[in-house]
Structure formats: structure tokens, C-alpha cells
Amino acid sequence: MIYSDQQLAQQLERTEARANAAFVEARASLFPESKAQWIEVAGTYAMFDGPESPLTQTFGLGLFGEVTHPDLDKLEAFFTERSAPILHEISPMADAELLSLLNERGYQPIEYTSVLYRDLTEDLDYQIADNKHLATRLIATGEEERWARTLAQGWSTEMPDLSDFILELGQITANTAGAFPFLAALHDEPIAAGGLYIYDGVALLAGASTIAAGRRQGAQLALLNARLQYAAQQGCTIAMMGASPGSQSQRNAEKHGFRIAYTRTKWQLVSD
């Protein structure tokens, strides 16, 4: 049995940190002018992916050892020098003294995330999508653009103003080390895309969407099953994902065997 404790939190937070760091490295390689970069301070990964990118933040603060004022000075300088907001994703399993430091320095909590996990060492009870014309697969070399466009098209109805941003995000994700992009196709035509990252036996599920015309065909369930099966075959023992507390995404995850490990809080340094 897997318990929700600091050891689990270290595994989950490090996995998400490594996925974000790998994405930043991919952006830096594909778009050198972006000046994307990441650093590690006191076991904390700090990512700069652009001033407005949701990846520009830290992971693991306070989980891998004591955090001091000089450590926070270094982290804050990293973001300030790049004209970026200063944001930290913090697990409740982090050092309790960290809260006092954040309060002293003027941080405020701004967002919650439910971090969920599923044990992959148990027999996986898959609910099969009842659609014989639906197939899922890992993309082949040369399909990165196709995967990115399917992902962006799927999100376009919910976030029409961010279509170009999501397309670029998908293009970078498909070229990120440790990423395994999956497609779901109906009659051989892609209708859904989902992301998977694997690091040290932990699988991070991310970025799934279905195009409007392909919804209610079982694509999301098929993608979930395909990624979990693939992760287990690669030797992963844990799958993880993040969702807004109480959201439909969280309910869907719990319906399919995921449990809440903890609720993470995002803290932001507020300017005077």
C-alpha cells in the first residue's frame, strides 16, 4: 500500500519538477531567443519559461531540506532578473517552518491543486471504451506537429484565445525528453491527444483534450487506459496527475482509481 507521506510527496513533486525542467530545456533548444532556463536551489527546481508561462515557478520548495532566507534570495533573484512573477508550488508535506518564512517575506496563497496518484503495481482494472472504431497509440517520429494540432484543437472550444499558445506548448511537449505523446483516432482520424512523462518509475499524466467533433466516443477513457498500461509496461509503480479541487477532472480521476495524495498551494510574492 502507498501512503500519503513526505516520501510520496518527494516522488510526485520531483517528477513534475523534472517534467517542467525538461520542457524548459526543449524550449531553450527550439527557441533560443526565449532564454528559457532552470536552476536548482536547496533541492528546489526553479523554471523560467517566459514571464507569462504557467511553467514559470518552482516545485519542491521545503520538501528536500531546510530552506533559508539566502535560498529564497537566490530563487527570487532568478525570477526578478527575468521580470517574471515569483511563484512557488508547495506541498503540505514541506518543512513547516517554510510557512513562517513565506509570511515574513510577503507571500500570499493564490491557488490550490489536488495532487492525485494511483498504484500501478496492483492489477489494473480498466474500463474499456465501447467503440470498436477507436484506437490509441504512441505517436511515431514525424507526427509531433499532428499531435500538437490535435491537442490545440481540443482545447480551442474552452480557451479560444489561447489556441496559438497551446499549439506552441504542444509542439514543445512533443519534443521534450521523457515525454510520450499519445493519440486517439476514430476511423484512423485523430480526435484526441494526451501527454505522458516518465521519470524514475513515476508516470505523470498531462495535457489530454478531445476535438469537439470527436467527443462522447470514449477517447478520454481510451487515452487514460493506454497511458497507464504503457507506464506499467515501462516499469512505473505510480501514476500521478493534478486537478482543481472538486473539479470534474478530479472526479473522473477518482472514478478511475486515483486517490488524493494532498492539496498543494501556490504562493506568490506580492509586490509592495
CATH of the domain at 176: 3.40.630.30
* Cell (9 digits) for 43: 533541492
Residues 100, 182 share a domain: no
Residue 208 has pLDDT above 60, yes or no: yes
Residues 170, 82 share a domain: no
CA atoms within 13 A on the CB side of 4: 16
What is the domain extent for residue 23? 6-113+263-269
> Can you tell me the mean pLDDT for 208-234?
88
DSSP characters for 74-94? HHHHHHHTTT---EEEE-TTS
pLDDT at 159: 72
Residues 140, 108 share a domain: no
Query: Is residue 143 classed as helix, strand or coil in its secondary structure?
Result: coil
User: Does residue 256 lie in a domain region?
Assistant: no
Residues 109, 182 share a domain: no
User: Does residue 194 lie in a domain region?
Assistant: yes
Residues 142, 228 share a domain: yes
Residues 151, 213 share a domain: yes
User: Does residue 258 lie in a domain region?
Assistant: no
Nearest-angstrom CA–CA distance, 31 and 17: 21
pLDDT at 189: 86
User: Does residue 118 lie in a domain region?
Assistant: no
pLDDT at 125: 67
Name the phi and psi angles at 266, rounded to 5.
-95, 130
Residues 10, 92 share a domain: yes
Residues 12, 109 share a domain: yes
| % of the chain exceeding 90 in pLDDT | 75
Residues 65, 18 share a domain: yes
> Can you tell me the mean pLDDT for 184-199?
91
- Segment holding 149, helix H or strand E: helix 144-155
- Beta strands 189-199 and 182-186, pairing class: antiparallel
User: Does residue 43 lie in a domain region?
Assistant: yes
> How many domains does the structure of the chain reveal?
2
Residues 146, 100 share a domain: no
User: Does residue 243 lie in a domain region?
Assistant: no
User: Does residue 195 lie in a domain region?
Assistant: yes
Q: Are the C-beta atoms of residues 48 and 38 closer than 8 Å to each other?
A: yes
**Quick one: residue 188, left, alpha or beta (phi over 0 = left, psi -120 to 50 = alpha)?**
left
Residues 138, 41 share a domain: no
Residues 6+ apart with CB under 8 A from 247: 114
User: Does residue 121 lie in a domain region?
Assistant: no
> What is the DSSP-derived secondary structure letter of residue 161?
G
Q: Are the C-beta atoms of residues 191 and 211 closer than 8 Å to each other?
A: yes
pLDDT-derived band at 220, boundaries 50, 70, 90: confident
> Can you tell me the mean pLDDT for 84-101?
96
Residues 109, 140 share a domain: no
Q: What is the pTM of this model?
A: 0.92
